[in-house]
Structure formats: C-alpha cells, structure tokens
Amino acid sequence: MYLITVLGNLLIILAISSDSHLHTPMYFFLSNLSVVDIGSTSTTIPKMLVNIQTQNKAITYAGCITQMYFFLFFGVLDDFLLTVMAYDRFVAICHPLHYMVFMNPRLCGLLVLVSWITIVSLFYGTSLGVYLSSAGTHKSQSIATASVMYTVVTPMLNPFIYSLRNRDIKGALRRLVGVAALYGPFVLGLGKHP
C-alpha cells in the first residue's frame, strides 16, 4: 500500500509537470496535494513497517516528537490544500469568465505558500502537546484501525479519486508512458534513436 501511494502520487506529479496543458490552478493544487500525501505517508509508514518486521514498538522521544510534528504538519496542510481546492472549484463554477483573473499564478502560489506557513505557526507547539498528552490514554483496536485508514488508505486513494479518474490526467499519463516506451531503450543504451 505504501509503494502504491508513493508511486501513484509521483506519477501524478510527473504527469502534471510534464504536460503544459495541465499547468492550471487546479492541477497545481493537485500536484501539491500529491506531495503532501507522499510526505504524510512517509512520516509514519516506514517506522510502522520496521516495527512489524522487528516486532519492536519502541521509539525514542526525539523520534516520536519528530514523527508527530511532521504527521500533524502534513495532516493540517492536507486540510488547507483541500480548502484551497474547494475555493478554486467555487471560482471555476460560479465565475467561469473571470476564473483566470481570480486564480492567477501569483494568487495560486500565495495560497499554497500560506497553507505551508497557517500550519507551522499554529500547530508547532499546541497540537503536538495536546496529542502527546492524550496519546497514552487510548489503546484500542478500533483506534489503531482508524489510524491505519487515515494514514495509509486515504493517501493511497487520493491519486485515484482526484486525478486518475480525470480525462486530462489520463491523457498526460498515456503521453508520458508513450514517451517512456519510445525513449526508454535509447536512454538505457539498449536501442537506436527513433
């Protein structure tokens, strides 16, 4: 599931960055969402896989603090990006003739930058302290299952929900795969230049 999450989101980022037709606000936000999904799963899943493999659930205090910081960081960033994406769709639907005026590249960059910065200042200390103080009081199977659903399944499904069902993304991925199939052997030194 972790590999599917990382590879699916990397494909989305690569498809959006390589196709100039997808350099629009909506796809800019989708590629940022993919970065956040990779970050959020990479914060917890590798440690979880090591714990399962070694049957050792110990974590250092510094490791716990670091993991919790990045988990909260990417979780809240995900919420902010989804809010920005909702605003983008609102403008596209309610004001289609003014869409490119409202959602210019400067505003899109500013919205993403603000999302990265309304997280560090708000949640650096307060959320971390609240979460750590209550972390020892909950030990049930249902909370563990809910945690896995939130940290593993949701980021894995985001590429399918937001992007791979999209006609433009599918076209970009087809072109990307076509270019890779055409130039792949040449790049590896196995074929002749077309």
- Domain assignment present for residue 190? The answer is no
- Whether residue 193 is contained in a domain is answered as no
Count of domains for the chain:
1
Domain-embedded: residue 51: yes
Q: Looking at the domain assignment, is residue 135 inside a domain?
A: yes
For residue 158, the tally of other CB atoms under 10 A from its CB is 23
Flag whether 179 is in a domain: no
Cα 106 to Cα 1, 20, 113, 132, distances in angstroms: 36, 18, 10, 38
Range of the domain at 66: 2-172
Residue with tokens 């309304």: 118
In a domain, residue 180? The reply is no
For the record, the structure tokens of 19 come out as 């196709």
- Region 76-94 average pLDDT: 88
For residue 158, give the CATH number of its domain: 1.20.1070.10
Residue 188 lies in a domain: no
pLDDT in tens, 51-83: 888 988 888 888 888 988 898 888 888 888 888
Alpha helices, DSSP H, located in 55-187: 61-94, 99-102, 105-116, 120-123, 126-135, 141-148, 154-158, 167-187
User: Which of 5-9, 53-57, 169-173 shows the lowest mean pLDDT across its residues?
Assistant: 169-173
In a domain, 126, yes or no: yes
Specify the pTM: 0.69
CA 57 to chain centre: 26
